[in-house]
Structure 1
């Protein structure tokens, strides 16, 4: 048999890609990576620690090995460096909550053929309702993925040495940017604008990190709430632009420019694609999420952000890699 030509292996892996989501979500749900890190290195030991069946533990280990998340040496398993960094509970960037969340969302992907035909969502997304119980699960689950970008932005702005600055976090969600930044700059103060139930989540996070005394919240919708005039040194607009259309983004950027003091900086973080839409891979895939869940959002190009920010009155726009996201800083 001639095996020099194409094989169906990769296509079969893609067709069955939901297996990977399910295996990773189940492994995260049973804290397998945490148990591995603590020294449980066989299926039997993991089953005992996680209180699952031996057969189940071995099946998860087989799947994680195939996905490159665990390694096998002489019958013993261990986390790869990647899994140890991002899938062990309690680590600074703990993505296990996100893995569990995505497992619950697999069913919605079956709507994609109809959504592609319609050009947008075929039912109202939970994200459009302020008092949805959806937020209790989603906001904490997605928080950790923003930590690397928050650190990249803090480095680019030299926030550690910035002194007594005021920060506005628009649609701040869990408060992860504020928490990261206030921890690095003990003289900074921050205000978050978001819906009231989400602000409550942020207050708890800041209190846990003993930062609540420098953190205040404004309950409201950033589309309509007044942001102030020349009131802040730094503003954050993280993972929001992808759910908004071009006109809305320009409008918000203009209002944020007005809210900043002269010389202030706007930080935008999002999944951004190259101008010819040739990459990066993750933002290209993320476009499907926006088609499923937003009426006019998308994964926008670098040139889109540059155009919008220039229209809003910013003169200096720079892009900083924070894979899989990009941090944009405009002054």
Structure 2
């Protein structure tokens, strides 16, 4: 046989993948990336700035070098471009909160063999209930993932110059789409439909960003709450379709179409896989998260979205890749 003989190195790294979650989560917990960015470029300096042991600092730095998130040069360390962009505290796209959150999810993976056998999550694993304290941390942690995608969608739709438009964000969580778009367009108004505890989080965040006067919340379950008729220019359904069944997505898409004014646009954002289920890698792996936590969800194909949106009455469906693991879908 030609080529490099197989080795176990990659498989060992994958089997021990939880080390990566732990190393990144611990580094985020101690603001390692932030201290590196501020010049703490040795294990000694990092330990002093972060208030951790020198041995602990060196161990985290070694792990981060292995993961490609930190670069080592002559005994000094610096963030990789990815880490500098996405893991330094205070930056709008910072994923450190999400890294800390995921450390608490590692134990749930031990249930995966039983969940795979059953084809659905264990009873105590389902998170889609309004009073789950899980939402307080989750919706805040994932806001950074959606912020750049919301900006891309706004540019594609030219929302900054769209004038007095009305926006409906179904299951809007942190309110990141409303916040991004209202800041870009001072004439726009946005309405978010979500459970009361989640809307309270969004209202606080939009107040902090100075756009609360043009933001309204409807407390309710989007499965049963009326969206209205011909009331909105743009509707958003971001990171919701993956937790819903095909039948529920079709029904919700049809109601969203009815809620849009003539010529209005539905914006979807989700982890979408190719029709042959050959990629992208993150979207394929994310299916395990849905199996663990959702009764009917999954990572759906482009063909699924095309079919569902067509059945719901949309005639123009386009897909747009983003620098994130998610894909934007525009339906008119």
Deviations 1:276-301 (A, max 9, x none): 00111110000111111111110000
Alpha-carbon distance in structure 2 between the residues aligned to 1:325 and 1:120: 24
Runs of 4 or more off by more than 3 Å in structure 1? Answer: none
**Worse-matched range after superposition: 177-186 or 124-133:** 124-133
Contact 2:126/2:295 (8 A) holds in 1: no
Alpha-carbon distance in structure 2 between the residues aligned to 1:125 and 1:97: 21
The secondary structure found in structure 1 opposite 2:127 is helix
1:24 equivalent in structure 2? 24
**Worse-matched range after superposition: 136-145 or 230-239:** 136-145
Contact 2:287/2:298 (8 A) holds in 1: yes
1:305 equivalent in structure 2? 305
Contact 1:41/1:77 (8 A) holds in 2: yes
2:46 equivalent in structure 1? 46
2:156 pairs with 1:156? yes
The secondary structure found in structure 1 opposite 2:298 is coil
Alignment gaps of 5+ in structure 1? none
Alpha-carbon distance in structure 2 between the residues aligned to 1:8 and 1:154: 45
1:130 equivalent in structure 2? 130
Aligned length: 329
Alignment gaps of 5+ in structure 2? none
Alpha-carbon distance in structure 2 between the residues aligned to 1:125 and 1:155: 38
2:327 equivalent in structure 1? 326
Compute the displacement of 1:137 (Å). 1.2
1:195 equivalent in structure 2? 195
Alpha-carbon distance in structure 1 between the residues aligned to 2:216 and 2:223: 19
2:298 pairs with 1:294? no
Compute the displacement of 1:133 (Å). 1.4
2:143 pairs with 1:143? yes
Task: Map residues 1-331 of structure 1 onto 2, 5 A cutoff.
Answer: 4-125=4-125, 127-322=127-322, 323-331=324-332
Q: What is the alpha-carbon root mean square deviation over aligned residues?
A: 1.0
Compute the displacement of 1:188 (Å). 0.6
Contact 1:126/1:134 (8 A) holds in 2: no
**Worse-matched range after superposition: 149-158 or 79-88:** 149-158
Alpha-carbon distance in structure 1 between the residues aligned to 2:10 and 2:138: 31
Contact 1:126/1:132 (8 A) holds in 2: no
Compute the displacement of 1:126 (Å). 5.1
Deviations 1:190-226 (A, max 9, x none): 0000000000100111011111011010000000000
Alpha-carbon distance in structure 2 between the residues aligned to 1:127 and 1:296: 13
The secondary structure found in structure 2 opposite 1:181 is helix
Alpha-carbon distance in structure 2 between the residues aligned to 1:83 and 1:191: 34
Compute the displacement of 1:123 (Å). 2.1
Compute the displacement of 1:144 (Å). 0.6
Alpha-carbon distance in structure 1 between the residues aligned to 2:207 and 2:84: 27
Alpha-carbon distance in structure 1 between the residues aligned to 2:202 and 2:281: 31
The secondary structure found in structure 1 opposite 2:123 is coil
The secondary structure found in structure 2 opposite 1:247 is helix
